Amino acid sequence: MKTEGMSKAAVARAAACEPLARITANAHTHTTWCDGKNSAEEMVRAALAAGFQCIGFSGHSYTWFDESYAMSLEGTKRYRQEIRRLAQAYRGQIDIRLGTEWDWHSKDTDPADYDYVIGSCHYLYSPVSQAYYTIDYTPQELKRCLQEGFDGDADAMVCAYYKNVAEMATQRRPDIVGHLDLLRKLNAQGCYFDETAPGYLKQACRAADACMEAGCIIEINTGGVYKGYRDTPYPAEPILRYIARSGGKITVNSDAHDAKGIDFMFSEALQLAKDCGFSSLWQLTADGMKEFSI
Ligand SMILES: [Zn+2]
Ligand SMILES: [Zn+2]
């Protein structure tokens, strides 16, 4: 692991940027087109009420083996039309960007169809049981993944998860990497693996390295805290500090599935970024992701 302070290049880059006093955008937003609770227009109104300059939508990409939470193929087309319609309707009030949260196991989405892509890993595939397991759905399913899919070997499960994240970043090069350490969502009491173990942190940091080498922006995601699963955002603080030391790029997203959560914990997340050693933060704008000094 790298141990030097934040890279000189990153500090110099940040110093040249416009300052950001508060976060005024969210790039990770779900709606009723996937597993969100509010319509896209209701989310736009929530973004306006929160004083945002920009909102980006990130409907879950279609996954053929699990249609429970993702957009259908037909729904994806209609989602795209609806977000473009809203972008026109709210022109002059707020910038609306069309994105997708593209799962690593989703094969049917062309990233060229979107303004930006968030790359995420929600599943683990086990060659042993030849099955996909959702890692962020229920403790029962995660337990089944560990026992059936990885013979009860938590280290092997952790290794497979972070290998997925690294491969996703390297091969798909999304603009943003979603919730880098999502595997810890259901691990609040450390019941599946030790999040403080050097071996665990090494795996997570290796995955972060792959994301940084691919040029991806890594998100601080407050969604797991909003839903009550964890006390701190993804990624965990030691991983964030490592990313800062390595000169990585960061953004803050709420992963909102309802209107109330649109800007959840944004001021705390901004402070967390500063405390972890970041001197800049990327934010979605009408011209794409833009770097600001913090
Ligand atoms: Zn996600
Ligand atoms: Zn999401």
Backbone φ, ψ for residue 253 (5° rounding): -135, 150
Predicted pLDDT at 6: 61
User: What pLDDT, on the 0 to 100 scale, is given for residue 195?
Assistant: 96
Give the ligand whose atoms come closest to the C-alpha of residue 182. Answer: 1
Examine the pLDDT at 19 and tell me if it is beyond 50: yes
Could you report the per-residue pLDDT of 210-266, keeping only the tens digit for each? 999 999 999 999 999 999 999 999 999 999 999 999 999 999 999 999 999 999 999
- The bound ligand whose nearest atom lies closest to the alpha carbon of 255 is 2
Over 50: is that where the pLDDT of 26 sits? yes
Alpha helix stretches (DSSP H) within the chain = 8-15, 40-49, 73-89, 139-144, 150, 154-172, 198-213, 223-226, 237-245, 266-275
Q: Which-ligand-closest: CA of 180?
A: 1
| 238 alpha carbon – ligand 2 mean position (Å) | 22
Stretch 74-93: mean pLDDT: 97
Q: How far is CA 146 from CA 160, 179, 199, 241, in A?
A: 11, 20, 18, 29
Q: What is the mean pLDDT of residues 16-44?
A: 96
The pLDDT confidence band at residue 1, using thresholds 50, 70 and 90, is very low
pLDDT band of 159, cuts 50, 70, 90: very high
And the tokens for 19? 């300052």
State the distance from the centre of ligand 1 to the C-alpha of 155, rounded, in angstroms: 22
Mention every residue, 6+ apart, whose C-beta is less than 8 A from residue 197: none
| Interval 175-180 mean pLDDT | 98
Fold that domain 8-293 belongs to in CATH:
TIM Barrel (3.20.20)
- The one-letter amino acid code at 285 reads T
Q: What is the distance between the alpha carbons of residues 188 and 196, in angstroms, rounded to a whole number?
A: 12
User: Which ligand neighbours the alpha carbon of 35 most closely?
Assistant: 2
- What is the rounded distance in angstroms from the CA atom of residue 201 to the CA atom of residue 189? 17
Confidence class of residue 108 from pLDDT cuts 50, 70 and 90? low
For the cut 90, the answer to whether the pLDDT of residue 279 exceeds it is: yes
Lowest mean pLDDT among 3-17, 192-206, 261-275: 3-17
Tokens of 90: 């709210």
Q: How far is the CA of 284 from the centre of ligand 2 (A)?
A: 16
CB atoms within 10 A of CB 173: 15
Cα–Cα distance for residue pair 35/224, rounded to 1 Å = 15
Per-residue confidence (pLDDT) for residue 3, from 0 to 100? 38
Ligand nearest to the CA of 30: 2
pLDDT at site 272: 98
Residue with tokens 């970024």: 273
Per-residue model confidence as pLDDT tens digits over 118-127: 999 999 999 8
What is the chain's mean pLDDT, rounded? Answer: 94
Say if residues 254 and 46 touch (Cβ distance below 8 Å).
no
What residue ranges do the domains of the chain occupy? 8-293
Task: Compute, in angstroms, the gap from residue 129 CA to the centroid of ligand 1.
Answer: 24
From ligand 1's centre to the CA of 249, what distance in Å?
19
Q: Which pLDDT belongs to residue 243? A: 98
